[in-house]
């Protein structure tokens, strides 16, 4: 299968595509309506209203729909399960959006959606309203044309993704019966910057922590007390230097214990990705990449864990010199974890290392999310690939894993369900930033992709 080979579109999907084409303007206009409703989880703005709006939207399509309470914002669920024998897909998305600050940086107000240069500008346009709304329209289009869906569908829309999904694991664990599915598909994030579609099979996990060192009651004179008063900055420097060496290897006992090698399929897929050191260097303005440079880029981005100092602060930071011994310092760090590394185990190992090398340094856990991985040869993998090929006319890029974090593990680790991330938005969607947008062509192709996906799953054996 070449990147440019068009797939054959069956007559049932073809008529759905026709319906979508006829309704382009209406779909965009309805997206604008949806985006007019703010739903800012971090600020508790408009959440209840959008929950009601979604439940009634799903019911109107003929889905069983309800808002299920959590300890935080409710989860909106919808179900259509009238395709006995066909697989069940769980479509995950989130109805909450990032706060729009700084407001003055927006060209048009974040909750007054407008179209400029073939893009819809509004908070949530890309992340994630525009994407799960495209999924919903795909369902609607199938139902409008055929009166039924090719497969069973469960919709799960979370209201707390932008504040770190604090209750989704608990929710999923408590409602396993409602979430029985053959696969999970998430439309979130951006397409490749070339515009090519992407399927992501995993994400790395994360642990974040802080190291805090204290010594004297206050800063003291370096002439009178340098070398006598312990220096918390030196303490952190010496501690951190024992945690990762200059070759880029993490030197915490047992840190790599559960790091496995990528599968042959994963290695092959990664090698085919358009990923070069030169591109990264150019994009970031770097003369060279960091150590370990002897590993393939894809390994370092997807298959190996990292340990990053996000910030280190202690003592004087103003102009000129101030000859003090600082009395406190702190470092904030994160580690990205790969499949089979357990955040709890890694945090324990880091904490033991700290206690061993710098017993007076305080170790503070900040956050942790387990990694997630779906096998490249998992069931329905081919169906998703062919749906993307049909909708985009171009072969998708296969990412065995992403660098960044998503709470994908709740599906793969808690439910044991394969999970695929299939983004619809343009690479420059400006999510989490002012002037968030989605290209109209990306949105509409999202509706087509969603429709093709249901069609492909309907044609797949369970």
Least distance from a copy of itself to the Cβ atom of residue 183, Å = 24
Asked if 306 is part of the footprint of a copy of itself (rule: CB under 8 A), the reply reads: yes
User: Pairing state of beta strands 88-94 and 183-186?
Assistant: parallel
Footprint of a copy of itself on residues 10-29 (CB under 8 A)? none
Asked if 226 is part of the footprint of a copy of itself (rule: CB under 8 A), the reply reads: yes
Distance CA 280, CA 301 (A): 12
Of the ranges 45-53, 117-125, 147-155, 226-234, which one interacts with a copy of itself (CB under 8 A)?
A: 226-234
Least distance from a copy of itself to the Cβ atom of residue 360, Å = 8
Asked if 373 is part of the footprint of a copy of itself (rule: CB under 8 A), the reply reads: no
Nearer to a copy of itself by Cβ, of 5 and 356: the residue is 356
Specify the residue for token string 């202690």: 314
Binding-site member from 3, 21, 286, 441 for a copy of itself (CB under 8 A): 286
Nearer to a copy of itself by Cβ, of 145 and 325: the residue is 325
Q: Would you mind telling me the total number of residues written for the chain in this entry?
A: 462
Footprint of a copy of itself on residues 350-369 (CB under 8 A)? 360, 366-367
* Among 124, 161, 103, residue whose Cα is nearest residue 437: 124
Least distance from a copy of itself to the Cβ atom of residue 429, Å = 15
Asked if 194 is part of the footprint of a copy of itself (rule: CB under 8 A), the reply reads: no
Binding-site member from 114, 289, 347, 352 for a copy of itself (CB under 8 A): 289
Cα 302 vs. chain centroid, distance in angstroms? 14
Asked if 206 is part of the footprint of a copy of itself (rule: CB under 8 A), the reply reads: yes
Q: List, in order, residues 6 or more apart from 318 with CB less than 8 Å away.
A: none
Least distance from a copy of itself to the Cβ atom of residue 260, Å = 18
Asked if 212 is part of the footprint of a copy of itself (rule: CB under 8 A), the reply reads: no
Burial of 12 (0-12, 13-18, 19+ CB in 10 A): middle
Q: List, in order, residues 6 or more apart from 92 with CB less than 8 Å away.
A: 156, 157, 158, 184, 185, 186, 188, 411
Asked if 320 is part of the footprint of a copy of itself (rule: CB under 8 A), the reply reads: yes
Nearer to a copy of itself by Cβ, of 5 and 281: the residue is 281
CA distances in angstroms from 298 to 11, 16, 257, 266, 402, listed in the order given = 39, 38, 20, 10, 10
């Amino acid at each position: 299968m070449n990147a440019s080979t068009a797939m054959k579109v069956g007559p049932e999907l073809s008529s759905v595509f026709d319906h979508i084409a006829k309704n382009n303007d209406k779909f965009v206009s309805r997206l604008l309506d949806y985006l007019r409703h703010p739903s800012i989880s971090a600020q508790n703005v408009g959440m209840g209203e959008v929950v009601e709006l979604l439940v009634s939207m799903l019911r109107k399509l003929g889905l069983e729909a309800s808002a299920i309470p959590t300890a935080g914002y409710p989860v909106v669920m919808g179900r259509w399960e009238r395709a006995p024998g066909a697989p069940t897909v769980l479509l995950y998305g989130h109805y909450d959006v990032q706060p729009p600050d700084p407001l003055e940086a927006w060209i048009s107000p974040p909750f007054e959606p407008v179209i400029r240069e073939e893009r819809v500008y509004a908070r949530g346009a890309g992340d994630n309203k525009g994407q799960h709304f495209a999924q919903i329209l795909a369902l609607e289009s199938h139902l409008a044309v055929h009166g039924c869906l090719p497969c069973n569908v469960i919709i799960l829309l979370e209201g707390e993704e932008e504040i770190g999904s604090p209750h989704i694991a608990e929710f999923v664990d408590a409602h396993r019966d409602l979430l029985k599915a053959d696969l999970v598909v998430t439309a979130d994030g951006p397409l490749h910057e070339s515009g090519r579609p992407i399927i992501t099979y995993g994400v790395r996990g994360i642990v974040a922590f802080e190291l805090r060192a204290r010594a004297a009651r206050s800063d003291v004179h370096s002439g009178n007390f340098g070398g006598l008063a312990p220096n918390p900055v030196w303490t952190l420097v010496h501690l951190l230097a024992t945690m990762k060496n200059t070759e880029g290897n993490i030197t915490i006992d047992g840190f790599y214990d559960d790091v496995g090698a990528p599968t042959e399929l994963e290695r092959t897929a990664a090698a085919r990705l358009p990923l070069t050191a030169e591109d990264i260097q150019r994009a970031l303005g770097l003369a060279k990449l960091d150590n370990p440079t002897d590993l393939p880029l894809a390994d370092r981005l997807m298959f190996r864990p990292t340990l990053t100092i996000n910030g280190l602060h202690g003592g004087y930071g103003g102009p000129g010199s101030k000859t003090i011994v600082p009395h406190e310092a702190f470092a904030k760090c994160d580690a990205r974890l790969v499949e089979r590394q357990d955040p709890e185990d890694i945090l324990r190992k880091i904490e033991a290392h700290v206690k061993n090398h710098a017993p007076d340094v305080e170790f503070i856990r900040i956050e942790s999310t387990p990694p997630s991985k779906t096998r490249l040869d998992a069931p329905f993998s081919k169906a998703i690939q062919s749906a993307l090929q049909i909708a985009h006319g171009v072969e998708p890029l296969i990412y065995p894993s992403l660098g960044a974090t998503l709470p994908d593990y709740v599906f793969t680790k808690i439910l044991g369900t394969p999970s695929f991330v299939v983004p619809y938005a343009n690479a420059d969607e400006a999510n989490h930033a002012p002037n968030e947008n989605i290209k109209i062509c990306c949105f509409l192709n999202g509706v087509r992709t969603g429709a093709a996906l249901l069609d492909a799953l309907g044609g797949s054996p369970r």
